[in-house]
Chain A
């Protein structure tokens, strides 16, 4: 039978100072892009000698994974599930080392001595949410007690340029805190990692649970609106129950338009966004989920994340994200208790 799935703890590294905390206090402003992840001191988690040989994506992935487990009271994961759009592309570019896409999950398994289920999803904008869906099934439907899920991505010089040529980044610099007002195409490129300890019991502090996850492919703005309606309906919620909406608006004007019809259905909710803070990348929605979790758990969101204020003391939180209007993710969270 279906059991509740709690986010026992979480950890993130990115362009914002969010490591080893559950709230974002001082928002970092950038005038140029890409937005690079600020890597904190990770000596506690990553051996400095080995760390030097690791790619950034592996270092920040391992660092946030182990920090999240630490914060959850030294939890031992039964399964490790990672989403990453590119895996260890830098090794591919530099050394032509084959097939290390699942290196981050493997490194976490080595560090935690976890011999259980170990999966890596590499599917563009739903890489992380595929991992989340899998982990949610493992705890909620398959009886595992503790599952680690996360997303990690780092900008590699080559791939940044290749993607720039395909037009997905803005060709000029825009201050990140102003980018959501842009009407032209392209987003700001970013990077980061976020990991979540999912469990069948709540962790210390205010409990937040993952109620449901939905992933879909294609469809325009109206399809996204319908998908959100159906998603809430299957969870017994009317649209006016959503207190906190976190969208993947990224400053790409034409693409951000896809959120408008869905947002109009939730006029009472606080509308927030996160991709201007962390930049756009394949697993940016892992940071989006971190910020939504943080907002529900602490009742605090930085002013820079809030597009429109709605209900205080939010209980129901909804993440709505699309990547290039093809990869759509919906995640419903609920704060439990006071």
Chain B
């Protein structure tokens, strides 16, 4: 019988706040992080709302406080801040045992290399550009954070679009269950950058207004930036060292639709399969789920297919659900971990978070989300989904420590 894997530390920085407390406060008080662009230098200022961390790079560097600021991209700084918070919360020193660091990103260090890219081809590279040589690839942020904080074992990066950091959590859990590491720090980070704003804009899936997930009149997603990490260890280890067990990893699944390179299937088969298999691993019947943190990007395509999949899985009796992307925007590679952190907060604090700005049910699946944040509810098992571009779908089931299937 393998030992359960538990969560003993959380760290998050998003448009809602620079730490877990700030994020929780915004969620409880229905304070959305979506608004006009104020930090990112882009021609889309004024026309596209985003969910920014309202700190410029210097202020963010001061907050994250790496030993030397040189060569730190915004993606890496966001990650460092959240990893530090998670480690401190869990009371873990990465160098004190085998500690895996599984990170995730989609944009990587492009936020810093895109504005200076042309300078790399000059005969002499100015230092402002030279310091970011080699920060372009997705692995840069993870190595930089690992070096800063003393990780020495497995340090790796997953990039599977919007499911990336949920997949990092899955890998961390598996390494622990097989005894291949003692502690796993899992999560993801993505800074807003012109590359993603322009790319998503060209796909015509950005809402010009704050997004309306699961609403009939939804018109697309808002991009956000964030980093979130969770500390995982076996329950035996956590109990032995007297750590506070925040939640249990009960189940998960990753599926791939093999439907299209970028679009998801209209009938939500991949989403359904990810959720169904995650419940099967957790040995839970659908009615055991207390709250669903849906992927809910606000794009016509995603919400319709996810709604159909939810109806199918829960036989029409969908539990209380909401998309916290109505607060944070879609934070891409970080989204799965951000929402896993929120799932743990929902369990710990007995909350169903609001799905902001919802008015009218979808035509495809007339579901009514949680429209106002509800407190003092019993949350035992949370289903949290992250469905990626290209049909890479992951669902997680996180449970209260005392909840038994």
Contacts and interface: CB of A to CB of B under 8 A. Distances in A.
Contact of B156 (A130, A159, A161, A218): A130
A216 to B, nearest CB: 6
Contact of A115 (B121, B146, B158, B270): B270
Interface centre among A117, A122, A134, A159 (most CB of B within 10 A): A122
B157 A123 contact: yes
- Chain B, interface residues (CB within 8 Å), range: 35 or more
Given A103-B390, A161-B120, A219-B152, A116 B256 contact: yes
Identify whether the interface residues of B are mostly helix, strand, loop, or mixed. mixed
Contacts of A282: 137
Interface stretch (A17-25, A92-100, A285-293): A92-100
A142 interface: yes
Given A87-B138, A98-B200, A137 B133 contact: no
B258 A113 contact: yes
Given A119-B160, A217-B146, A162 B133 contact: yes
A222 B301 CA distance: 54
Choose among A107, A162, A166 the residue with the greatest number of B CB atoms under 10 Å from its CB. A162
B143 A217 contact: yes
A236 B391 CA distance: 42
Contact of A165 (B120, B137, B175, B196): B120
A121 B158 contact: yes
B178 interface: yes
Interface on chain A toward B: helix, strand, loop, or mixed SS?
mixed
A170 interface: no
A288 to B, nearest CB: 18
B199 interface: yes
Contacts of B392: 102, 106, 118
Interface in B173-226: 174-175, 178, 180, 195-196, 198-200, 202
A127 interface: yes
B156 A121 contact: yes
B156 A96 contact: no
Given A122-B138, A215-B154, A106 B106 contact: no
A113 to B, nearest CB: 5
Contact of B133 (A114, A119, A165, A217): A165
B178 A122 contact: no
B158 to A, nearest CB: 6
Interface string A273-297: 0000000001000000000000000
A110 interface: yes
Contacts of B154: 130, 133, 215-217
Contacts of B256: 80, 105-106, 109, 114-118
Given A120-B159, A124-B139, A218-B152, A162 B120 contact: yes
Nearest to A142: B174
A87 B159 contact: yes
B261 interface: yes
B254 A165 contact: no
Contacts of B156: 121, 123, 126, 130, 215
A112 B133 CA distance: 38
B155 interface: yes
A34 interface: no
Interface of B: 106-108, 110, 117, 120-121, 125, 133-134, 136-139, 142-143, 146-147, 151-161, 167, 171, 174-175, 178, 180, 195-196, 198-200, 202, 254-261, 269-270, 273, 332, 388-392
19 contacts: A99-B196, A101-B138, A102-B388, A102-B392, A103-B390, A109-B256, A110-B260, A110-B261, A115-B255, A117-B254, A119-B171, A123-B143, A124-B139, A158-B120, A162-B120, A162-B136, A166-B134, A215-B153, A218-B147
Given A120-B158, A122-B137, A218-B152, 13 more contacts: A92-B195, A98-B200, A101-B160, A102-B161, A102-B392, A105-B160, A109-B256, A110-B260, A110-B261, A112-B258, A119-B158, A120-B160, A162-B133
